[in-house]
């Protein structure tokens, strides 16, 4: 039990989610060691932008979904190529599309926490900041049966103090990115694809948005282009050397009632 930290979320729902601790060795029960690999963090001890790796592997990440029509198209593209990605979902959109959220998880992808309302977190007090994360983690846990184990701040905005707070209080590392095609500027599909393919490197965390049609339309060329360059696709957890999110080795345990 040493590798499990119980945290009661401050959200309105009275669920407890046991988040995996990020320190300590695998326990006798075989639970995994979630320590952040050395040399990974930048911009603070709990921030990940890329992961040094000898293998040619990258993590595709998609923010701001689920989107009712674009996310299913993307999932089809990923499934056709047997590629797993990581989706940083917005909590209130999970509430709109629970079935789609379940499909993301069921097809082997990882789900991360991208807040409930997508605010600029640097403008929030600590209570509001944690509530944004807690509402989202609680709902994702209710919908797919396990909570996110990393978070990504909207616009990449999060102060070093806030990152430390979130890690200390919720054991969520802050995951940013090392490759940004700036797809939100709407440069068009071919530019998005060429930027991602040309800028990628081993251990890259690649940022994209599956609420932008041109980005999703860029994915066949992007995924095939990266594959042609020899890259394998992994989730953020796998890039960190952790087991795949949702696997039994993750050792999630859930409690349905808050004590007291």
C-alpha distance from residue 212 to each of 66, 135, 176 (Å): 11, 25, 19
Shortest distance, CB of residue 259 to Zn ion, whole angstroms? 34
Which residue's CB is nearer to Zn ion, number 154 or number 251? 154
Among 17, 53, 59, 63, binds Zn ion (CB under 5 A): 63
Q: Which residues contact 75 (CB under 8 A, 6 or more apart)?
A: 103, 104, 107, 109
Stretch that binds Zn ion, among 63-71, 75-83, 128-136, 196-204 (CB under 5 A): 63-71
Among 154, 173, 243, 246, binds Zn ion (CB under 5 A): 154
User: Which is the catalytic residue, given 63, 64, 134, 183?
Assistant: 63
Report the DSSP beta bridge partners of residue 175. 48
Q: Confirm whether 180 is a catalytic residue.
A: no
Q: Which two tokens stand for residue 11?
A: 């959200």
Distance CA 132, CA 123 (A): 12
Q: To 5 degrees, how large is the angle CA 241–CA 148–CA 156?
A: 85
Q: Confirm whether 92 is a catalytic residue.
A: no
Stretch that binds Zn ion, among 70-78, 127-135, 146-154, 183-191 (CB under 5 A): 146-154
Shortest distance, CB of residue 255 to Zn ion, whole angstroms? 30
Among 64, 110, 132, 210, binds Zn ion (CB under 5 A): 64
Which residue's CB is nearer to Zn ion, number 123 or number 259? 123
User: Which is the catalytic residue, given 109, 114, 209, 210?
Assistant: 209
Which residue's CB is nearer to Zn ion, number 16 or number 70? 70
The number of residues that bind Zn ion (CB under 5 A) is 3
Which residue's CB is nearer to Zn ion, number 91 or number 154? 154
Q: Which residues contact 9 (CB under 8 A, 6 or more apart)?
A: 15, 16, 17, 134, 135, 137, 138
Is 183 one of the binding residues for Zn ion (CB under 5 A)?
Answer: no
Distance CA 62, CA 243 (A): 20
Contact between 29 and 2 under an 8 Å Cβ cutoff? The reply is no
Shortest distance, CB of residue 156 to Zn ion, whole angstroms? 9
Determine how β-strand 110-113 pairs with β-strand 86-89. Answer: parallel
Which residue's CB is nearer to Zn ion, number 3 or number 210? 210
Shortest distance, CB of residue 246 to Zn ion, whole angstroms? 22
φ, ψ (nearest 5 deg) of residue 110: -95, 145
Which positions are catalytic? Answer: 63, 209
Q: What residues make contact with Zn ion under the rule CB under 5 A?
A: 63-64, 154
């Amino acid at each position: 039990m040493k590798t499990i930290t119980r945290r009661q979320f401050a959200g309105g729902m009275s669920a407890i989610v046991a988040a995996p601790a990020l320190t300590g060795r695998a326990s006798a029960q075989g639970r995994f060691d979630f320590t952040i690999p050395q040399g990974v963090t930048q911009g603070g001890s709990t921030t990940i932008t890329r992961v040094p790796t000898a293998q040619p592997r990258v993590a595709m990440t998609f923010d701001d979904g689920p989107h009712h029509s674009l996310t299913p198209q993307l999932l089809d593209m990923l499934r056709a190529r047997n590629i797993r990605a990581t989706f940083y979902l917005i909590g209130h959109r999970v509430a709109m599309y629970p079935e789609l959220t379940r499909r993301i998880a069921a097809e082997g992808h990882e789900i991360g926490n991208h807040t409930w309302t997508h605010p600029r977190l640097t403008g929030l007090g600590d209570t509001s900041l944690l509530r944004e994360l807690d509402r989202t983690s609680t709902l994702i846990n209710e919908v797919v049966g396990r909570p996110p184990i990393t978070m990504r701040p909207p616009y990449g905005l999060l102060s070093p103090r806030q990152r430390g707070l979130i890690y200390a209080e919720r054991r969520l590392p802050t995951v940013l990115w090392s490759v940004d095609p700036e797809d939100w500027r709407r440069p068009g599909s071919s530019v998005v694809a060429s930027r991602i393919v040309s800028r990628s490197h081993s251990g890259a965390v690649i940022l994209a948005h599956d609420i932008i049609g041109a980005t999703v339309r860029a994915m066949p060329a992007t995924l095939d282009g990266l594959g042609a360059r020899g890259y394998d696709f992994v989730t953020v957890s796998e890039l960190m050397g952790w087991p795949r999110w949702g696997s039994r080795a993750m050792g999630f345990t859930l409690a349905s009632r808050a004590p007291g």
